[in-house]
């Protein structure tokens, strides 16, 4: 496996290998000298076609802790605004002998395009593309869930998965690369996923996904849940009539104080509340929920660095196990 592009094609073996390696990496973060010489002399380029200081800093910290040289390349502008083309940028990076390209892009599929175009030889890590995928976010979420799940079970997390864990992902699924990556990865790791959203914010075709779908957050919570992940909802979606008002959204689909209290009533004392950030407090999540003891928002950020260290290390060291990647289906159909 040379690239990390999505989670749909990520095997269980590879996913667990990344999580286990991340576990080792997290120990580095707790040392006084937070640095390993593993990638000394290697060059990692953070290629960002879309602003995301949080993700860029996380990848930068990960690469630096592995002693890699880091180049931040901000290629703003779309084809519409006649920015630099992906191809030209890729060839520039190739000329700079980049070993890995961490790419964030506004267009779904741009990292896959970069990886398969022949424009560049580097390993490609998808740091979020359009509304398609955000695999390291899903891996850090899974890492966070696995730590919690194994602790509850009293088993070591290394080598473990999420078998039997009930995960609810609520919010703007339609526009969420986080949801798309989590659904596939969590399924691969054995969790049971339920998506909760207004019908307008679920993609047509979601019925084919390996998860349940509900429009009713309360009924879903009442059925029992071990982790709740709230997705960011942009208030501007209201202008395109995805929902009538932010008030109505928060009432029906937000994780508010009443729902936080409901978890206690349901005796769900170990249920965690997750959010990929940045949060819209008062919209998809209330402040008291975000700041409660159940919240894993800050551990998620911390784990992000470990997971990204693991991904960089495994891809660049060649220690990522080969997996049978499903070939892009050639749909020529003669039947």
Give the residues lining the site for another protein (CB under 8 A): 8, 78-80, 85-87, 105-110, 112-113, 116-117, 129-133, 177, 180, 203-206, 208-209, 328-334
Structure tokens at 217: 């957050």
Check whether 40 is labelled as a binding-site residue. no
For another protein, give the closer residue by CB, 157 or 176: 176
Residue 54 assigned as binding residue: yes
278 annotated as belonging to a binding site for a ligand: yes
* Minimal distance, residue 25 CB to another protein, in Å: 29
Contacts of 41 (CB under 8 A, 6+ apart): 69
Q: Between residues 42 and 175, which has the closer beta carbon with respect to another protein?
A: 175
12 is in an annotated binding site: no
What residues are paired with 70 via a beta bridge? 44
Cβ nearer to another protein, comparing 15 with 312: 15
List the alpha helices (DSSP H) in the chain.
12-29, 53-65, 86-95, 110-116, 135-153, 177-188, 217-222, 246-253, 257-265, 287-290, 297-317
What's the closest the beta carbon of residue 303 comes to another protein, in angstroms?
24
Q: Is 151 annotated as a binding residue?
A: no
Which residue from 159, 59, 135 is spatially nearest to 102, judged by alpha carbons?
59
Residue number with CB closer to another protein (135 or 160) = 135
- How many Cβ atoms are within 10 Å of 258's Cβ, its own excluded? 11
Q: How far is the CB of 265 from another protein (least distance, A)?
A: 35
Write out the binding residues for carbamoyl phosphate: 54-55, 104, 134, 137, 277-278
The annotated binding site is made up of 54-55, 82, 104, 134, 137, 177, 232, 277-278
Residue stretches of the annotated binding site for L-aspartate? 82, 177, 232
């Amino acid at each position: 496996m040379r690239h990390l592009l999505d989670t749909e094609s990520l095997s269980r073996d590879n996913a667990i290998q990344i999580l286990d390696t991340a576990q080792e990496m997290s120990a580095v973060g707790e040392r006084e000298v937070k640095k390993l010489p593993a990638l000394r002399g290697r060059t990692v380029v953070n290629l960002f076609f879309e602003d995301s200081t949080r993700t860029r800093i996380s990848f930068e910290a990960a690469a630096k802790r592995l002693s890699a040289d880091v180049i931040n390349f901000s290629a703003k502008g779309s084809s519409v605004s006649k920015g630099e083309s992906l191809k030209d940028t890729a060839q520039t990076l190739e000329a700079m002998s980049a070993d890995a390209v961490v790419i964030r892009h506004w267009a779904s599929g741009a990292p896959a395009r970069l990886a398969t175009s022949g424009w560049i030889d580097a390993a490609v890590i998808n740091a979020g593309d359009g509304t398609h995928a955000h695999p390291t976010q899903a891996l850090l979420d899974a890492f966070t869930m696995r730590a919690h799940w194994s602790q509850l079970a009293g088993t070591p997390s290394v080598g473990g998965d999420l078998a039997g864990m009930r995960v609810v992902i609520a919010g703007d699924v339609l526009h969420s690369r986080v949801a798309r990556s989590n659904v596939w990865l969590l399924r691969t790791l054995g969790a049971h996923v339920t998506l909760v959203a207004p019908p307008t914010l679920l993609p047509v075709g979601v019925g084919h996904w390996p998860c349940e779908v509900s429009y009713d957050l309360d009924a879903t919570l009442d059925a029992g849940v071990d982790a709740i992940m709230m997705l960011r909802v942009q208030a501007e979606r209201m202008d395109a009539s995805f929902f009538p008002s932010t008030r109505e959204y928060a009432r029906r689909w937000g994780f508010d104080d009443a729902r936080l209290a409901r978890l206690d009533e349901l005796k769900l004392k170990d249920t965690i509340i997750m959010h990929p950030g940045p949060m819209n407090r008062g919209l998809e999540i209330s402040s008291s929920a975000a700041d409660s003891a159940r919240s894993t928002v800050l551990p998620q950020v911390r784990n992000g660095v470990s997971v990204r260290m693991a991904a960089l290390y495994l891809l660049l060291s060649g220690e990522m196990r080969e997996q049978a990647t499903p070939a892009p289906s050639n749909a020529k159909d003669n039947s």
